[in-house]
Amino acid sequence: MLDLGLTKMAVIGVVSLVVLGPERLPHVARTAGALFGRAQRYINEVKDEVTREIEFKELHQVKSELVAAAANVESAIHENLLEQEATLKEAWNGGPAASPDAGEGAMQLPAPETVTWGSRIVAAAPKRRNWRGHRTATPSWYKRAAANRRRVQSVAARVARHSSAYPVVKQGFFNV
């Protein structure tokens, strides 16, 4: 920005004192400081915005490179999967793999709800329903342990219930 040294600032201060006078100089100095601060903040905001734009462009470039690399990996995996599928079909049929447009001669895969076991097709087990209800059910061992506690007893009732198990000791003021 501006290169203002101490001597230049002193000269500006003396000239402004002579031109403006001692009454208006503090008000003008405050206004000039506020304007100078506002200009600095604006310049810093512009610098930050330019920096963010540069970083955004770099991130966009890295993202496009990663997307291209992911597409290459996906295509390589897909090609490898097709090769393995053709190899498995060939091994299963005992001959060359049938083309997908062969029609009736192509191998038919079983439906997902059936399972092949040897030469027979077995239906898969049905999904268990209401499995959450079984997890939250109260266990029978807890029911047996808590069977005696049907209602809440007060402390006095518990003492009266179990008082026969302990000998009665009369305690008074002098019998400690």
pLDDT in tens, 3-15: 778 898 889 888 8
- Show Cβ contacts of residue 121 under 8 Å, excluding neighbours closer than 6 positions: 110, 114, 115
The answer, yes or no, to whether residue 105 has pLDDT greater than 90, is no
> Cα 71 to the chain's mean position, in Å?
25
End-to-end CA distance of the chain: 94
Q: Which of 23-27, 56-60, 111-115, 160-164 has the highest mean pLDDT?
A: 56-60
Give the rounded distance of the alpha carbon of 21 from its chain centre.
Answer: 65
- pLDDT tens-place string over residues 107-144: 555 555 555 555 666 566 666 666 565 566 777 777 77
| Mean pLDDT calculated for residue range 50-65 | 94
| Residue 151 · residue 161 · CB < 8 Å | no
Which pLDDT score is estimated for 13? 85
Q: What is the pLDDT of residue 154?
A: 82
The amino acid occupying position 158 is: R
In this prediction, residue 108 carries a pLDDT of 58
Contact between 56 and 49 under an 8 Å Cβ cutoff? The reply is: no
CB 146 within 8 A of CB 138: no
* pLDDT (0 to 100) of residue 75: 93
69-85: pLDDT as tens digits: 999 999 999 999 999 99
pLDDT value at position 9? 82
More confident residue, 18 or 168: 18
pLDDT of amino acid 81: 93
